[in-house]
């Protein structure tokens, strides 16, 4: 028997093909598993009766450092929550807070079997540094908005410029890369969305955007542009093709069938955030 093998007993295992198996398994150091007969030499026996053995989880829409905001303004509608609870606090956000918050969030991710985050938060270089240090995989997408933010005090143009600089510097590690987080259709002008899209195409990086998160966002977009958010983004030529890095659309709680077809046509990923959407 190779060294470092663990036995988990009474466990439920879901394999890479989604097949569910119950029983006793040997967990090998290379990440593979085999069935246990019960008499192998192992370094540890684990009670699997309350555990699930499966591939690690991935979280495709995070603001990791916002673990520090947890329970602030709990239960408020999105815009009220942002305007009365989150944006005022973020005015005082520093790189140090981002580092501490990201580290705490990554520890929580690991404790729940999550080994990947597609993050969108300020000081993306700091976020990337913590991801690299922790050993998880991730994409750190600096958020682009037209209004000034804690890591881009003069607004959208500066945000784009800084993100361009980070992308030119290359991926921080084999497991961690940068992406471009255009915050939303209501916080980015047409010009900002297009510039970000061109930058993503140039660098082959992903585009990450909050899309149709609330009914108000959808109604406002239609009143302003005569189109729903996904239609509007499509009309701009915003979407990054799947071959070139792809587009991650967070939430998509209020999209029409026509918009679903548009997303599908671009190979864009709709990332639902069930707890948040509820
Ligand atoms: Zn978000």
CATH of the domain at 210: 3.20.20.140
Check: CB of residue 173 under 8 Å from CB of residue 130: no
pLDDT at 64: 98
Q: Which residues pair with 57 in a beta bridge?
A: 114
Q: How far is the CA of 152 from the centre of ligand 1 (A)?
A: 18
Q: How far is the CA of 36 from the centre of ligand 1 (A)?
A: 43
Same domain, 89 and 137: yes
Q: 269: how many CB neighbours lie within 10 A of its CB?
A: 18
Same domain, 138 and 49: no
Q: How far is the CA of 2 from the centre of ligand 1 (A)?
A: 44
Q: How far is the CA of 179 from the centre of ligand 1 (A)?
A: 14
Give residue 26's domain range.
6-53
User: Taking CA 188 as the corner, what is the angle to CA 99 and CA 252, rounded to the nearest 5 degrees?
Assistant: 80
Q: How far is the CA of 122 from the centre of ligand 1 (A)?
A: 12
pLDDT at 149: 82
pLDDT band at 1 (very low <50, low <70, confident <90, very high): low
Q: Is residue 230 part of a domain?
A: yes
Q: How far apart are CA 58 and CA 137, in angstroms?
A: 9
Q: How far is the CA of 210 from the centre of ligand 1 (A)?
A: 6
pLDDT band at 141 (very low <50, low <70, confident <90, very high): very high
Check: CB of residue 233 under 8 Å from CB of residue 208: no
Same domain, 139 and 179: yes
Residue 184 has pLDDT above 70, yes or no: yes
Q: Is residue 1 part of a domain?
A: no
Q: Is residue 170 part of a domain?
A: yes
Q: How far is the CA of 40 from the centre of ligand 1 (A)?
A: 47
Q: How far is the CA of 169 from the centre of ligand 1 (A)?
A: 26
State mean pLDDT over 270-274.
Answer: 94
DSSP structural state of residue 83: I
Q: Is residue 222 part of a domain?
A: yes
Q: Is residue 96 part of a domain?
A: yes
Same domain, 46 and 155: no
Q: How far is the CA of 61 from the centre of ligand 1 (A)?
A: 6
Q: How far is the CA of 62 from the centre of ligand 1 (A)?
A: 6
pLDDT tens digit string along 18-71? Answer: 999 999 999 999 989 999 999 999 999 999 999 999 989 999 999 999 999 999
pLDDT tens digit string along 158-169? Answer: 999 999 999 999
Q: How far is the CA of 136 from the centre of ligand 1 (A)?
A: 20
Q: How far is the CA of 64 from the centre of ligand 1 (A)?
A: 10
Same domain, 144 and 201: yes
Contacting residues for 122 by C-beta, under 8 A, at least 6 apart: 65, 90, 93, 98, 142, 143, 149, 150, 151, 152
Q: 58: how many CB neighbours lie within 10 A of its CB?
A: 14
More confident residue, 1 or 9: 9
DSSP structural state of residue 82: I
Burial 224-262 (b: 16+ CB within 10 A, else e): eeebbbbbbbbebebbbeeebbbbbbbbbbbbeeebeeb
pLDDT at 77: 87
pLDDT tens digit string along 193-251? Answer: 999 999 999 999 999 999 999 999 999 999 999 999 999 999 999 999 888 889 999 99
C-alpha dist (Å) from residue 129 to 2, 63, 89, 172, 186: 35, 15, 23, 8, 30
More confident residue, 103 or 277: 103
pTM for the model: 0.89
Residue 109 token pair = 């991710």
Q: Is 154 helix (H, G, I), strand (E, B) or coil?
A: coil
Q: How far is the CA of 26 from the centre of ligand 1 (A)?
A: 39
pLDDT at 244: 83
Check: CB of residue 26 under 8 Å from CB of residue 42: yes
Q: How far is the CA of 63 from the centre of ligand 1 (A)?
A: 6
Q: How far is the CA of 253 from the centre of ligand 1 (A)?
A: 12
- What is the tally of structural domains in the chain? 2
Same domain, 65 and 34: no
Q: What percent of the chain has pLDDT over 70?
A: 100
pLDDT at 16: 86
Same domain, 113 and 244: yes
Q: How far is the CA of 203 from the centre of ligand 1 (A)?
A: 23
C-alpha dist (Å) from residue 224 to 187, 229, 231, 248, 277: 13, 10, 13, 23, 24
Q: How far apart are CA 95 and CA 117, in angstroms?
A: 19
Same domain, 66 and 42: no
pLDDT band at 145 (very low <50, low <70, confident <90, very high): very high
Q: How far apart are CA 256 and CA 169, in angstroms?
A: 39
Same domain, 35 and 132: no
One-character DSSP codes across 21-71: EEEEEEE-TTS-EEE--S-S--SEEEE-TT-EE-SPEEEEEE-GGGGGGTT
Same domain, 181 and 200: yes
Same domain, 44 and 95: no
Q: Is residue 266 part of a domain?
A: yes
Same domain, 213 and 244: yes
Q: How far is the CA of 211 from the centre of ligand 1 (A)?
A: 9
Contacting residues for 157 by C-beta, under 8 A, at least 6 apart: none
């Amino acid at each position: 028997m190779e060294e470092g093998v663990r036995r988990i007993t009474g466990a439920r295992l879901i394999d890479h093909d989604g097949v569910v198996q119950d029983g006793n398994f040997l967990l090998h150091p290379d990440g593979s598993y085999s069935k246990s007969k019960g008499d192998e030499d192992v370094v540890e026996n684990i009670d699997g009766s309350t555990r699930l053995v499966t591939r690690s989880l991935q979280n495709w829409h995070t603001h990791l450092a916002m673990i520090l905001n947890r329970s602030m303004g709990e239960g408020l509608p999105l815009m009220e929550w942002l305007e009365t609870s989150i944006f005022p606090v973020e005015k005082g956000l520093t790189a140090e807070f981002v580092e501490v918050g990201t580290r705490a969030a990554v520890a929580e991710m690991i404790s729940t079997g999550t080994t990947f985050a597609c993050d969108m938060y300020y000081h993306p270089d700091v976020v990337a540094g913590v991801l690299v240090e922790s050993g998880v995989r991730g994409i750190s997408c600096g958020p682009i908005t037209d209004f000034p933010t804690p890591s881009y005090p003069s607004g959208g143009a500066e945000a784009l410029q800084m993100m361009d600089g980070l992308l030119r510097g290359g991926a921080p590690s084999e497991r961690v890369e940068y992406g471009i987080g255009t915050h939303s259709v209501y916080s980015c002008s047409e010009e900002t969305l297009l510039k970000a899209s061109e930058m993503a195409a140039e660098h082959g990086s992903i585009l990450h955007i909050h899309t149709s998160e609330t009914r108000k966002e959808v109604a406002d977009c239609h009143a302003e542009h005569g189109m729903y958010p996904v239609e509007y983004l499509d009309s701009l030529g915003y979407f990054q093709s799947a071959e070139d890095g792809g587009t991650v659309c967070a939430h998509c709680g209020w999209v029409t069938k026509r918009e679903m077809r548009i997303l599908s046509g671009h190979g864009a990923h709709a990332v639902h955030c069930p707890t948040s959407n509820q």
